[in-house]
Amino acid sequence: MNVVLLHSKKFAELVSYKNWSETTVQKSDPHDFGGPRLLADIGGTNARFALETSPHCFEAVQVLACRDYPDLGAAIQAYLKQVSPVLAAGESIRHAGIAIANPVVGDIVSMTNHHWSFSIRDLQHTLQLETLKVVNDFTALAMALPHLSDDEKVQIGGGTAQAGKVIGLIGPGTGLGVSGIIPSGQRWIPLASEGGHVTYSPVDHIETALLERIWRDFPHVSAERLISGMGIELLYRVLSEMAGADVRVALSAAEIAERARLGTCAVALETVNTFCGMLGTVAGNLAMTLGANGGVYIGGGIVPRLGDLFHQSQFRQRFEAKGRFSGFVAQIPTFLITAAYPAFLGVSVILDEALSGQAD
């Protein structure tokens, strides 16, 4: 078993959170950590787990493929079995926090991009937990943003973040996550957004031609349909068809990105450039909608793997291309998140607030 130990910097103060699912909150002495806590970051492809053994110290990080388990409970049980040697004799998990790539409304969670479905209360009972918090994964990631160190993010383009201002978040992965945090005094309030499912609007005749072809199969083309792993695959197929290329062999998003990186496929390179431009448009829309003068952050698993292709792309140009408001958007910085597991930090903050009685 590969065990990873992650340390985040100490917080000057905890931040506040609203809109988590309604489960029983057990208050604890903030000076008594109460044993290891289970943290999870569940996406449509991978489930990431860790044990928080002291404040913001994450051990035994494991990444499990969702397809290998019939449900979330089975994946959690498999993880706990693997990490049992890390626990001291007689030590048990009493509290857990889960960030999941899905809306969390009420007790039943049914994933949009995977077949898992579960009851929060039943899962809490099965795992014999005193406390279980389940939140949207980008809500958790948003809560981590104010606490990322300089070496956990890279600025893309110009602009300067204004302290105490709204921060936006967008991230392509299996789907497209969107969120943000709103300052309220010394607190941050996260947005429970499904902004990835807004309708995508083309910006030029090339994108219009793309959309006209895609509309044959999908009457509603969301931002997520194009700006995600499946979006890269869809864009590649359509651009190949438009170029008269053979598309009988389907390529994965990872294969397309690798061909683009190596420069061995012109259509793959065009696909990645188109993807980055579309991401810039939607990220700019988010900045305008939120007035995100604190910056817009890019998360998710795809962009960090693009490397120089992203840095040299038209992302930032398209981010700023807002007509009369281009000057306004140009002042807003964009940051690529490079931290290994930032969602653990956010869900840790959320769980800690609940246990210390700071939640509303």
Q: Which residues are annotated as a binding site for ATP?
A: 40-45
Rg over alpha carbons for the chain, rounded to the nearest Å, is 21
Distance between CA atoms of residues 162 and 182, nearest Å: 13
CA dist 271 → 147, 231, 243 (Å): 34, 10, 12
Q: Cβ distance 291 to 161 under 8 Å? A: no
First to last CA, the chain: 39
Distance between CA atoms of residues 331 and 170, nearest Å: 18
Residue with tokens 């190949």: 240
**C-alpha of 354 from chain center:** 22
Q: Residue 77: CB partners within 8 Å, gap ≥ 6?
A: none
Q: Cβ distance 52 to 347 under 8 Å? A: no
Q: Which residues are annotated as a binding site?
A: 40-45
Q: Which of 352, 223, 221 has the alpha carbon at shortest distance from 285?
A: 223
